[in-house]
Structure 1
Amino acid sequence: MDFTAAGQTVRVTVPNWAALEARVTERLAQRRGFALATLNLDHLVKLRQSAAFRQAYAAHDLVTADGNPIVWAARLAGRPIALVPGSDAVLPLARVAARQGVPVALVGATPETLAAAKAALERDARDIDVVLCIAPPMGFDPEGPAGDEVLQQVAASGARLCFIALGAPRQEMLAARGRFLAPQVGFASVGAGLDFIAGTQRRAPVWARRLSIEWLWRALSDPRRLAGRYARCVAILPGQLAMAVVQRFRTRGA
């Protein structure tokens, strides 16, 4: 399924959980790095606004659907995909790393959150080796010297899987830079995933996720911060669904 932002095509390349685990397993076994992004409407809004974000996204090898609207659009286009949120990917990918003996790094959040996330991963992903935890300071620039220093620390630690929890677009920008400065490392941008693992941020209830209204639950939980973001997402949704229908008919006519 293809999406368009400011003339650039963004393609969901990983259709489901099984494909994600298989591709990450293969990359780690071959000692090849990667960058994983999880596409949602907020990303599409930001991609329209930022050329730097579009450039960073283009450097990502793996892209999943992180949001039901992306899944709905793909179905309308006749190219069904599954919901694979970055925030849910931490534990499954950590278990892949543990099985292969691949060291892991955690970047983002706060020192307290990282310590709790490390403890939770060591409890739930048997034999995992978390070799590095870095909580960048406020104002951290992923494309400046501070970003390069973080990536150098990741590479020097021996980690070959790095979870980045900085929020978009900073996490994707750091991951894209990591593809060149630490090409042997797999970078997975996971948003609030480390906070959820650590228990420092509450996930939407299961019933809200099953009804596909996690976004509404989150907006009501923090309206001042999220209301504007979700309003912008809703504004672009009709256009994305319309483009999906066009893709469906183009495919049939081909």
Structure 2
Amino acid sequence: MNQSQTPLELVNFGSRAAFFQDVTDHLQQKRGFTVATLNLDHIVKMRQDPAFAAAYRQHSHVVADGNPIVWLSRLGGREVDLIPGSELIAPLVALAADLNVPIAMLGATEETLAITTEKLQERHPQLQVAAKIAPPYRFDPDGEAAADALRQIDQSGAGLCFLALGAPKQERLAARAAQLAPHCGFVSIGAGLDFIAGHQTRAPIWARKIAMEWLWRMLSNPRRLAWRYAQCFAILPSLLIAARRMKRTGRNS
């Protein structure tokens, strides 16, 4: 990835099958990797936070999280699969269990981590959980506490770590992890652990099928999310132009 790329071009795994095959290869070979799931909110944050944008461009794996990214990519002449971050946990945990790869979790609360561990091990009794780290209040991904957490994960022997810190913290930490825990794969999943623990509820399947998960979420918490989604809608015209330019110039491979 380079500085001249548009946000849509950051998606470097358009196929779900290719993504999981490559992650499998990395896990088997004990090679580290970092996974980010691109959505409109992340693009808004990239425009406001250069450090976040720089961290995103360092990720080895970027997939499309959100139908607008899928649709805009198709408009740009490129087919990509929808791969939401929250839907990565179950297949990756199953993969780690099958490959005998210990996992780690960083984020949420101690209670959430404990409940999530119990539920995951109920589904996969052979799953090894090597580290569970609930970060302190105002956790700084660039601070020494973050470095200590990454060293702990590295020393635990975990080959796969789920980061549940929310953007931009989790992506910035993942970029740093590539140096401090080079044999572990880091996957940013937002509220994914809270969904498993039952502390947050994801939109019902019918809302997801008609691409209205964003509306369900906004109506569930308008005070927090209305402005966020307004900002996402505001950047759509420029992304439409970028998509058309991608198709015209052939920058969609």
**Under a length normalisation based on structure 2, what TM-score does the superposition of the two structures give?**
0.94
CA distance in structure 2 between the partners assigned to 1:142 and 1:19 by the alignment: 30
CA distance in structure 2 between the partners assigned to 1:148 and 1:127 by the alignment: 29
CA distance in structure 1 between the partners assigned to 2:125 and 2:61 by the alignment: 25
C-alpha deviation, 1:9, in angstroms: 3.6
Aligned to 2:37: 38
Aligned to 1:137: 136
Aligned to 1:202: 201
CA contact (8 A) 1:40 1:69 kept: yes
Aligned to 1:223: 222
Unaligned runs of 5+ in 1: none
CA distance in structure 2 between the partners assigned to 1:21 and 1:171 by the alignment: 21
The residue correspondences of 1:10-89 to structure 2 (distance < 5 A) are 10=7, 11-89=10-88
Partner secondary structure for residue 102 of structure 1 = coil
C-alpha deviation, 1:126, in angstroms: 4.4
Unaligned runs of 5+ in 2: none
CA distance in structure 1 between the partners assigned to 2:123 and 2:168 by the alignment: 29
Matched pairs, number:
249
Say if 2:145 is the partner of 1:146.
yes
Partner secondary structure for residue 163 of structure 1 = strand
- Quick one: which amino acid aligns to residue 101 of structure 1? N
RMSD: 1.6
C-alpha deviation, 1:124, in angstroms: 2.2
C-alpha deviation, 1:24, in angstroms: 0.9
C-alpha deviation, 1:146, in angstroms: 0.9
Aligned to 2:168: 169
Partner secondary structure for residue 235 of structure 2 = helix
Q: Which runs of 4+ in 1 moved over 4 A?
A: none
In terms of mean alpha carbon deviation, does 243-252 or 176-185 score higher? 243-252
- Quick one: which amino acid aligns to residue 240 of structure 1? L
Partner secondary structure for residue 246 of structure 1 = helix
C-alpha deviation, 1:8, in angstroms: 5.0
CA contact (8 A) 1:131 1:159 kept: yes
Aligned to 1:250: 249
Partner secondary structure for residue 162 of structure 1 = strand
CA distance in structure 2 between the partners assigned to 1:238 and 1:46 by the alignment: 17
Post-superposition Cα deviations, 1:138-166, rounded to whole Å, max 9, x if no partner, equal: 10001110110110111111111000000
CA contact (8 A) 1:143 1:174 kept: yes
The residue correspondences of 1:227-242 to structure 2 (distance < 5 A) are 227-242=226-241
Post-superposition Cα deviations, 1:202-235, rounded to whole Å, max 9, x if no partner, equal: 0101010001010010011011111111110010
Aligned to 2:97: 98
- Quick one: which amino acid aligns to residue 64 of structure 1? V
C-alpha deviation, 1:248, in angstroms: 1.5
Aligned to 1:191: 190
- Quick one: which amino acid aligns to residue 220 of structure 1? L
C-alpha deviation, 1:249, in angstroms: 2.3
CA distance in structure 1 between the partners assigned to 2:189 and 2:27 by the alignment: 18
Aligned to 1:156: 155
Aligned to 1:211: 210
CA contact (8 A) 1:39 1:66 kept: yes
CA distance in structure 2 between the partners assigned to 1:30 and 1:199 by the alignment: 34
Partner secondary structure for residue 220 of structure 1 = helix
